[in-house]
Amino acid sequence: MKCASVVLTISLLLVGVAPAADSLNVRFIGGIDTQGGAQGIAVSGDYAYVTNYVDSSGLRVISISDPAHPAEVGHYNTPGHAYGVAVSGDYAYVADALGLRVISIADPAHPAEVGYLETPGSALNVAVNADYAYVAGGDSGLRVVSVADPAHPAEVGNYDTPGISNGVAVSGEYAYVADRDSGLRVISVADPAHPVEVGHCHTPQWAFVVAMSGDYAYVADFGAGLRVVSISDPAHPVEVGYYDTIRSAYGVTVSGNYAYVAGWSAGLRVNSVSDPPHPVEVGYYKTPNLALGVALSGGYAYVAGYYAGLEIYQFYGDGVEESPKPQASSRKPAETVISSLPLGDVVFDAMGRRVLNPRSGVYFVREPSAVGRGPSAVTKVIIQR
């Protein structure tokens, strides 16, 4: 889209209306009460699988074929608190406080447990890769479970991490464990029967969840926000960047150039990680309750919102393109990343709404002398406070 088109779009919208203080570049699409404390979430096809921590504990199966109107189609109550969930094929693998539950979802309306494995500590999260489930086992570390026969899951190996194993992701021959106050642990699972730690990276607070993308691990480090760790050399993981997500980072997932953070009481936060050492927040939505987990599918972010249940959002901040050859300005254009705007600049968000007190994020700026006088140069800026 050409620069003049951006100006035309802005000029056609109501100017002078400040955006809601609880959102930036993110819109609410739909939601549903999951009858308990929604904690973990996985999405596969037309269904979202949500674990509940309290009240009606267990797994809720939600149809998301119409994201604006999600509807529960089935549920299975696990004996203990259900924390994390991963989906592979016709099975949902639930990290239940008492162990790993294997639930058939071949018929989403009638999920049924087909296998179970008790773990020594509380199973807090799970990742599945090929014939193995990797369970973050709390104070019992990482448990490697064969699920080649889903009806008879069997532990084949384990590694006792120094902290509380809270989150796990698998990439290649390595399992990456978010080990709370022991940071990120990198464990070789090339031999599943003999997992061994090959490297670790300290994080400032509590590493809760980890997501992988390319040569980077993205750690939700609670009060220390989002930490970006290079794992190009798994034996020597090193933090290369971070972004303070205002309050707490409890969950994270990554897609393309964006990291979506479940920010506890700060809601859903969207960070651009196109330059991983310099993540910058480009959108957010203050969710009605605690944001504990997040998954992505089909352009939507699915948030486990505790007592608010399942919430579905859409990030639209990348929907406006800037001209490769902006018009010349009478003064030096604003820098790409700035901390404050020159006095008198007129600021709009991606929807063309005028912003009176811009927070951190992406905005479009026109010089005050050009407002109301036809097409003019538009500068795209990122404000980082």
| DSSP symbols for 120-135 | SS---EEEEETTEEEE
On whether both 34 and 71 belong to a single domain, the answer is yes
Q: What is the CATH number of the domain that holds 258?
A: 2.130.10.10
Question: Given a cut of 60, is residue 318 above it in pLDDT?
Answer: no
- Is pLDDT above 50 for 3? no
**Per-residue pLDDT tens over the stretch 24-58:** 999 999 999 998 899 999 999 999 999 998 766 79
| Tally of CA atoms within 13 A in the half-sphere of 335 that contains its CB | 7
For residues 89-107, b (16+ Cβ closer than 10 Å) or e, as one string?
eebbbbbbbbbbbbbbbee
- Buried b or exposed e, range 251-277, using 16+ CB within 10 angstroms: bbbbbeebbbbbbbebbbbbbbbeebe
> Do residue 186 and residue 62 come from a single domain?
yes
pLDDT value of residue 358: 72
**Chain center to CA of 316:** 16
Q: Is 319 exposed, middle or buried (0-12, 13-18, 19+ CB in 10 A)?
A: exposed
In percent, the amount of the chain with pLDDT more than 70 equals 80
Measured distance CA(329)–CA(376) in Å, rounded: 9
Task: Select from 363, 283, 352 the least CA-distant residue to 6.
Answer: 352
* SS3 (DSSP) at 243: strand
Mean pLDDT across the stretch 365-385? 57
- The answer on 225 and 305 residing in a single domain is yes
Other residues' Cβ atoms within 10 Å of the Cβ of residue 79:
14
Q: What is the pLDDT of residue 329?
A: 38
Cβ neighbourhood burial of 10 (10 Å; 0-12, 13-18, 19+): buried
Which amino acid, 136? Answer: A
Q: In terms of domains, do 115 and 223 share one? A: yes
Same domain? For 268 and 215 the reply is yes
| CA separation for the pair 74, 96 (Å, rounded) | 18
Instruction: Write down the pLDDT at residue 189.
Output: 98
Query: Distance between CA atoms of 143 and 161, rounded to whole angstroms?
Result: 10
What gap in Å lies between CA 119 and CA 94, rounded to an integer?
Answer: 12
Amino acid identity at 264: W
Shared domain check, 349 and 300: no
Beta bridge pairs of residue 222:
249
- Give the pLDDT of residue 351: 61
Last residue of a domain, one of 263, 288, 315: 315
80 and 39 in one domain? Answer: yes
Q: How many other C-beta atoms are found inside a 10 Å radius of the C-beta of residue 177? A: 33
| Selection from 16, 12, 111 nearest residue 60 by Cα | 111
Give the CA radius of gyration of the chain: 22
My answer on whether 170 and 243 are in the same domain is yes
Asked if residue 111 lies in contact with residue 92, where contact means CB atoms within 8 angstroms, the answer is: yes
Residue 360 contacts residue 383 (beta carbons within 8 Å): yes
pLDDT of res. 356: 61
Spatial CB neighbours of 372, under 8 Å, sequence gap ≥ 6: none
Position 140 pLDDT exceeds 90? yes
Boundary of a domain, candidates 264, 288, 315: 315
pLDDT category, 372, cuts 50, 70, 90? very low
Q: Quick one: 12 and 45 in the same domain? A: no
**Which residues form the domain of 35?**
26-315
| 12 pLDDT tier (thresholds 50, 70, 90) | very low
- 131 versus 375: which is more confidently predicted? 131
- 15, pLDDT greater than 70: no
Question: What are 188-236's pLDDT values in tens digits?
Answer: 999 999 999 999 999 999 999 999 999 999 999 999 999 999 999 999 9
pLDDT for residue 380 is more than 80: no
Whole-number average pLDDT of the chain: 85
Asked if 134 contacts 175 with a C-beta cutoff of 8 angstroms, the reply is: yes
Domain shared by 211 and 346, yes or no:
no
Last residue of a domain, one of 290, 315, 340: 315
Structure tokens at 223: 């009060």
Least confident of 34-48, 170-184, 333-347: 333-347
User: How would you label 284-304 residue by residue, b for 16+ Cβ within 10 Å and e otherwise?
Assistant: bbbbbbbbbbbbbbeebbbbb
Task: Report the C-alpha gap between 322 and 365 in whole angstroms.
Answer: 12
Same domain, 222 and 354: no
pLDDT of residue 357: 66
Question: Mean per-residue pLDDT for 169-175?
Answer: 97
Say yes or no: 297 and 357 in one domain.
Answer: no
Structural domains of the chain, count:
2
